[in-house]
Amino acid sequence: MSSTPPVKKSRRHFLLGGLAVTGALIVGWGVMPPRKRLDLANPIPVKDGVVPLNGWIRIGPDGTVMIAMPRSEMGQGVHTALPMLIAEEMDVPLSMVRIEQAPIDKIFGNVTMLADGLPFHPDDHGSVKKTAQWLTAKTARELGLMITGGSSSVKDAWEPMRQAGATARAMLVAAAAKQWNIAGSDCRTENGAVLDAKGRRLGYGELAAKSIGIAYGEVTLKSPKDFKLVGTPQPRRDTAAKVNGSAGFGIDARPPGMVYAAVKMSPVIGGTVRSIDDNVVKTMPGVLGVVDFSAAMRAKFGAGTGVAVIAKTFWQAKQAIAALPVTWVDGPNAKLSSADVMKELAWKRDTESGFAYYSHGDLDAGKTGATVLKAEYSAPFLAHATMEPVNCTAQVKDGKVLLWVSTQVPSIAVDIAAKIAGVKATDVAIVVPYLGGGFGRRLEIDMVAQAVAIAKHAGGLPVQVIWTREDDMTHDVYRPAAVARFSASIDAAGNVLAYDNKSASGSITHQAIERTFGLTGAGPDKTTVEGEFDMPYEFPNQRIAHVIVPSAVPLGYWRSVGHSHNAFFKEGFISEMAHAAGKDPVEFRRGLLKNHPRHLAVLNAAVEKAGKAPEGRALGVALHQSFGTIVAEVAEVSVEGTEIRVHKVTCAVDCGIAINPNIIAQQMESGIVFGLSAALAGEITIKDGKVEQGNFDTYPVLRMDRAPQVDTIVIKSAAPPEGIGEPGVPPIAPAVADAVFALTGKRLRSLPLRLASA
């Protein structure tokens, strides 16, 4: 047990909240009202009869509602869920709503994602937390960063998009009431029109222009009890295009005159270019030029330094880059290995006190426990391995830049493109197609920096940069490797008296701040310990701390981020404690959730639906909350020799109000398969500074014939919506490990789960 005194929660809150409050009050900014999220800085004029009612909504002459879409569609269903919010508030059929890419503007910035990044416990409802979140949200509004991440799209849009829809509806009602010379309260809306008691009807298209500048009074959002569309299963609006092949992804961009570029990057992490001999490839078919783009790459970019060949076709570029002689300077990481990284993490965990993200009670109270249980867990680096390879198309011409890129961060992509091209951000235009998978990889801007740097040498032609799968796998920003140590004291009755958890890993946020904004990252990082410090289990005495260890390996936000491995650590040890206490894993968890009825309801729903395991199989359970959403998963598992097979997963989820139950079920299925791939096989290893995995032969994903049946139960809730894109990932690995223990008696504490090494 750690002898380090617990860090008092009030001191941590003062450090996080007090300094922010003081700094804000000094300039008077803290008392100013938050930036509104309704109107654009540069309003869109009326054109072709299309009337903008606010920054989010335009109405066409035929009554079509066009909404600005500030979030990227990467398979999570945001192009369906967000239009549902507008359609609900405006009383229009979903079929009448079209989406348009939102312009770069602060009203579309993701406020929720930044506010949720503060390291406060979910059970903390104090004033310091509220103040810190309010100030962070205000800061986020000023920054206006357009980001799709953190499972925050619906949660962030819940108020501003509904407000935009309700305001538009109020304007249209006021216009109709004025034309009929009646009170607005005597009007109602239905199917894209305003009606009155006499049966008169005016469509939104007829009223749009008349509603501009009209006084419409106080705007009230619909009560959830009055929802007609929200909460109903609706088909995905992007499905047809993705099935018939008409959907456009970043790699499908084909601007006139486009040429291609293939890249070669340092094989050693952090290596640099010493020299190139471009004479070898200049005369190869289709070759237009060779570019060293190293100067555009910031520290710890996944891309790193390297060179590119521009050619008329991608095949010609690929052939030429393979033939291009490049001499590298390996740099300080030439002997780096993942094995040494894991040793350093364990050493730092055991020798440094770390930062206590949460402490409650007194750990010394556990010294009287009849049993002291200890365990250590570990998880490896992981790659994102999105189906659509990394790509970006850029054109630099006449002081302007045009981008076609599947990105999760369009506003940041515009900023980095402007900086590299040496133009103003207002001189950069961006087209954001569908994303062929994001998982956090497309939060990065290395491909944009690379493409713009290369396009500057293309004589004004648009250049499409495409990475091969090997480029992608060996130059990713990886899910951090991590280790954790647990200690618990349990009395003779099976009660946990004290719970001590300390983990160690690199910090994604520190690196992301450096490579994205050129700033030095410092201080606590919630992502390192999320899923450990913020658990719902009611231990009377507990301390959860983390040690940040600087990483030479580029680190990035991987789907569910810290929860992806911390859930495995925490839930694995919870099951170990249950066994040590002589209790069933489910009953043990139930006893720790007396003051958390929503968590208990989710756990019970999953367990009851799962039933009993067939002969020769076992059930394993895990419960985890991430991105505000509570998920319980029960895995039905068999073991043949050393092969672990997952046949079925029963999943229960409470994500607040379910906007579209179909999408929720799809995201749970997606998250489970994604998480299961990592749980059973995912591992990135490094030797002599080089990533050893290069393609799906060495970094396998779950095959269709091994994908389990997934049954999802969506718990009905009146709470505001929470995240759904990532929460299905964290519970699957510990649920499978729990079932493996029931079958074999072997406790697997390292990922990926391997019986051969147990």
List, for residues 34-77, the tens digit of each pLDDT value: 778 999 998 888 888 999 999 999 999 999 999 999 999 999 99
- Are 56 and 189 in the same domain? yes
How many domains does the chain divide into? 3
Domain shared by 81 and 97, yes or no: yes
Share the mean pLDDT of the chain.
Answer: 94
| Residue 497 shares a structural domain with residue 567 | yes
Residue 34 domain-assigned (yes or no): no
**Domain stop point among 223, 242, 261:** 242
95-125 pLDDT per residue, tens:
999 999 999 999 999 999 999 999 999 999 9
Both 184 and 292 in a single domain? no
User: How confident is the model at residue 29, as a pLDDT?
Assistant: 60
Note whether 69 and 165 are same-domain residues. Answer: yes
Is there a domain that residue 758 lies in?
no
130 is a domain residue:
no
Report whether 1 contacts 487 (CB < 8 A).
yes
Is 350 in the same domain as 398? no
Question: What whole-number distance in Å separates Cα of residue 286 and Cα of residue 691?
Answer: 31
- For residue 29, tell me if it sits in a domain: no
pLDDT score of 17 more than 60: no
End-to-end C-alpha distance for the chain, whole angstroms: 25
Residues 103 and 191 in one domain: yes
Is there a single domain that holds both residue 443 and residue 508? Answer: no
pLDDT at 2 over 80: no
Question: To the nearest whole percent, how much of the chain has pLDDT over 90?
Answer: 91
Coil, strand or helix: which one is 559? coil
Structural domain boundaries enclosing 663: 338-382+478-744
Query: Pick the residue with more confidence: 369 or 197?
Result: 197
Rounded to an integer, the average pLDDT of 143-167 is 98
419 is a domain residue: yes
User: What backbone phi and psi angles, to 5 degrees, belong to 421?
Assistant: -80, -15
Q: Check the CA dihedral 150-516-14-136 and report its sign.
A: negative
In this predicted structure, the answer to whether residue 322 has a pLDDT above a threshold of 80 is: yes
Q: Which of 411, 438, 466 is the last residue of a domain?
A: 466
Contact residues for 693 (Cβ-Cβ < 8 A; gap 6+):
383, 473, 474, 683, 684, 685, 699
Examine the pLDDT at 9 and tell me if it is beyond 80. no
Report the C-alpha gap between 535 and 545 in whole angstroms.
13
In this structure, are 318 and 201 located in the same domain? no
- List, for residues 488-497, the tens digit of each pLDDT value: 999 999 999 9
Q: What is the CA radius of gyration of the chain?
A: 27
Based on the fold, state whether residues 578 and 484 are members of the same structural domain.
yes
Residue finishing a domain among 242, 274, 298? 242
Instruction: Give the pLDDT confidence score for residue 43 in this predicted structure.
Output: 86
- Give the C-alpha distances (Å, rounded to integers) separating 486 from 373, 374, 499, 521, 568: 8, 6, 7, 28, 12
Q: pLDDT band for 28, please (50, 70, 90 cuts).
A: low
Contacts with 559 (C-beta within 8 Å, 6 or more apart), sequence order: 384, 439, 440, 671, 674, 725, 726, 729
Q: Is residue 456 part of a domain?
A: yes
Q: In this structure, what are the phi and psi dihedrals at residue 752, rounded to the nearest 5 degrees?
A: -70, 160
CATH of the domain at 601: 3.30.365.10
26 lies in a domain? no
Provide the pLDDT for residue 18: 38
SS3 label, residue 550: coil
Q: Judge if 267 and 234 occupy the same domain.
A: no
CA distance 176 to 121: 49
Query: Would the pLDDT of 305 be above 50?
Result: yes
Per-residue pLDDT of 129-153, as tens digits, reads 999 999 999 999 999 999 999 999 9
Beta strand 287-292 with 187-190 is: unpaired
What are the tens digits of pLDDT across the range 593-643?
Answer: 999 999 999 999 999 999 999 999 999 999 999 999 999 999 999 999 999
pLDDT of residue 575: 98
Is there a domain that residue 730 lies in? yes
User: What is the per-residue pLDDT for 33?
Assistant: 74
Q: Are residues 354 and 284 in the same domain?
A: no
